[in-house]
């Protein structure tokens, strides 16, 4: 007696058949396809991927019993573990799967390959964000319009269209609702802003955060003005290009002319340097106090060490003490208040030096009117982007006087404190640098 084979469930059979067909072409390369054939293969495989995604999401939305059978938190968590997927992506898929249960037009478009998963997320979110008073009919109309737009627009453009869909559906309330949405977004952006710091242990620290877009754009404006970026440089931090060719870079300015090293540096690096310069240009007299002067630099070192070419200093931070070079301490002394804490052999405080005065606003104005630009020989960085340097270092007993100050850009201010270089002041007041042998 023979037993007839069980008929395989159609969904499983479809997946098995599709995989079997792909197995048949697994070793074939598209090298000899024509351009038209490659275009067709890319587009059709993208549509196939959307259809497969929809089937997976459709199943995921109805797979709570799978999670229960395995004691998992939800079906997304089980799938992430069983298929070695990214848990965050699996959670996002579960959220989209649930959303598609109430977005039949989006789900139907995915089943035909007309809408991909990224577009579906955007459309579902846009419809969910519509005001409650619109009612189901207008929501369905919005969903249908956005699905139709998906044939022409990618996720980013769809997101923008979704934010403005009320202009088409209900123009009488669009502006008011847009204002309410923007106010809510801005309040949430401020409430949820984060900024964290982590010491990497190699002289660097990582700063990461999420801030309101308006604050970031303001910061970018300050930094870009300081770096004098090329006009053709992208605003995308991840894809900023180098400004290396003066003829191909009509926006190249004094920073590039004066310092080829800066010109060859990626824009994101120049922004980082500009950010460091910006911090040092802040006037502590206009900052709120938090346990004292916000920009006070407290170094635990003897004054003899502070004056030496090669020495170290302890920099007091919110988390304890970090070690910096005496060179860096001397450079900071030009811009920020520095408090030398002299210790004995057992680390006890013997003397707490008084804070040195920064150059005052009137002095800064007078010095910059006098110098016009960085006084390093050949450098043309405008004075408004420069630091003020004590020619007679404060760490050696110098004073904050007009005649003993010189304007230096961030690059040359670093160099004048670099013990690998010597410098001399020329008769015209410029500073000439020489690398030590």
Among 205-219, 348-362, 421-435, the least confident range: 348-362
CA 175, CA 134: separation in Å to the nearest integer?
14
pLDDT at 238 over 60: no
In three-state secondary structure terms, 3 is coil
- pLDDT for residue 240: 41
Whole-angstrom Cα distance, residue 267 to residue 272? 9
pLDDT of 126 over the 80 cut: yes
Look-up of token digits 């630009």 = 373
Tell me the pLDDT band of 307, cut-offs 50, 70 and 90. low
- Distance CA(57)–CA(50), nearest Å, equals 10
What's the pLDDT score for residue 352?
40
Whether the per-residue pLDDT at 123 is higher than 70: the answer is yes
CA-CA distance, 50 to 46, in Å (whole number)?
6
pLDDT at 256: 40
Q: Which of 66-70, 120-124, 229-233, 261-265 has the lowest mean pLDDT?
A: 229-233
Flag whether pLDDT at 356 surpasses 50.
Answer: no
The DSSP symbol for 319 reads: T
Q: State residue 287's pLDDT score.
A: 55
Are the beta carbons of 313 and 299 closer than 8 angstroms? yes
pLDDT band at 258 (very low <50, low <70, confident <90, very high): very low
CA angle at residue 68 from 62 to 71, to 5 degrees?
140
User: Is 434 strand, coil or helix?
Assistant: strand
Residue 68: is its pLDDT beyond 50?
yes
Contact 127, 103 (CB under 8 A): yes
Mean pLDDT of all residues in 39-44: 96
With a cut of 60, say whether residue 343 has pLDDT above it: no
Residue 244 has pLDDT above 50, yes or no: no
Please spell the DSSP secondary structure of 372-427, one letter per residue: -B--BTT---BGGG-EEEESS-GGGT----GGGEEEE-HHHHHHHT-TTEEEEE-T
Of 228 and 74, the one with more pLDDT: 74
What's residue 288's pLDDT? 52
Residue 51's pLDDT is what? 97
Stretch 185-193: mean pLDDT, rounded?
83
Distance CA 105, CA 116 (A): 13
CB 260 within 8 A of CB 285: no
The string of pLDDT tens digits covering residues 104-117 is 999 999 999 999 99
Q: Give the C-alpha separation, 414 to 431, whole Å.
A: 13
Lowest mean pLDDT, pick from 144-148, 210-214, 288-292, 327-331: 288-292
Of residues 355 and 383, the one with the higher pLDDT is 383
Q: Tell me the C-alpha distance between 176 and 179, whole Å.
A: 5
Q: Indicate the helix (H) or strand (E) that contains 320.
A: strand 320-325
Q: How confident is the model at residue 309 (pLDDT cuts 50, 70, 90)?
A: low
Instruction: Please report the beta strands in 49-192, taking only residues with DSSP state E, as ranges in sequence order.
Output: none
What is the pLDDT at residue 131? Answer: 86
User: Which pLDDT tens digit goes with each residue over 367-382?
Assistant: 777 788 889 988 888 8
- Residue 78: pLDDT over 90: yes
Residue 360 confidence (pLDDT): 60
Q: In this predicted structure, which of 135-139, 308-312, 323-327 has the lowest mean pLDDT? A: 308-312
pLDDT of residue 344: 47
- The answer on pLDDT for 319 being more than 80 is no
C-alpha 28/C-alpha 18 separation (Å) is 16
């Amino acid at each position: 007696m023979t037993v007839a084979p069980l008929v395989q469930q159609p969904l499983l059979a479809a997946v098995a058949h599709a995989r079997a067909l792909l197995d048949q072409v697994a070793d074939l390369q598209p090298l000899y396809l024509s351009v038209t054939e490659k275009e067709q293969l890319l587009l059709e495989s993208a549509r196939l991927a959307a259809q497969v995604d929809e089937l997976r999401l459709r199943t995921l939305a109805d797979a709570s019993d799978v999670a229960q059978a395995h004691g998992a938190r939800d079906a997304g968590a089980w799938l992430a573990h069983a298929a070695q997927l990214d848990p965050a992506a699996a959670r996002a898929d579960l959220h989209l799967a649930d959303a598609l249960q109430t977005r039949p037009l989006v789900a139907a478009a995915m089943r035909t390959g007309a809408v991909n998963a990224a577009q579906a997320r955007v459309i579902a979110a846009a419809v969910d964000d519509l005001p409650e008073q619109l009612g189901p009919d207008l929501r369905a109309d919005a969903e249908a319009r956005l699905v139709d737009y998906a044939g022409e627009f990618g996720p980013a453009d769809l997101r923008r269209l979704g934010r403005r869909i009320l202009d088409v559906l209900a123009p009488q309330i669009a502006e008011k609702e847009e204002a309410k949405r923007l106010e809510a977004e801005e309040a949430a952006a401020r409430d949820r802003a984060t900024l964290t710091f982590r010491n990497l242990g190699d002289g660097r620290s990582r700063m990461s955060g999420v801030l309101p877009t308006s604050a970031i754009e303001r910061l970018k404006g300050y930094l870009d003005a300081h770096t004098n970026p090329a006009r053709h440089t992208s605003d995308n931090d991840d894809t900023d290009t180098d400004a290396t060719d003066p003829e191909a870079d009509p926006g190249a300015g004094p920073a590039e002319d004066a310092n080829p090293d800066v010109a060859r540096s990626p824009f994101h690096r120049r922004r980082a340097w500009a950010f460091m310069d910006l911090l040092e240009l802040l006037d502590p007299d206009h900052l709120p106090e938090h346990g004292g002067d916000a920009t006070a630099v407290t170094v635990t070192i003897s004054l003899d060490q502070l004056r030496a070419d090669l020495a170290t200093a302890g920099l007091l931070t919110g988390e304890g003490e970090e070690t910096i070079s005496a060179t860096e301490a001397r450079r900071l002394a030009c811009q920020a208040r520095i408090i030398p804490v002299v210790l004995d052999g057992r680390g006890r405080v013997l003397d707490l030096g008084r804070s040195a005065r920064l150059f005052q606003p009137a002095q800064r104005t007078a010095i910059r009117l006098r110098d016009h630009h960085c006084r390093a020989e050949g450098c043309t960085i405008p004075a408004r982007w420069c630091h003020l340097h004590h020619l007679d270092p404060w760490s050696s007993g110098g004073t904050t006087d007009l005649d003993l100050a010189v304007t230096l850009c961030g690059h040359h201010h670093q160099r004048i404190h670099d013990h690998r270089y010597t410098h001399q002041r020329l008769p015209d007041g410029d500073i000439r640098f020489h690398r030590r042998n």
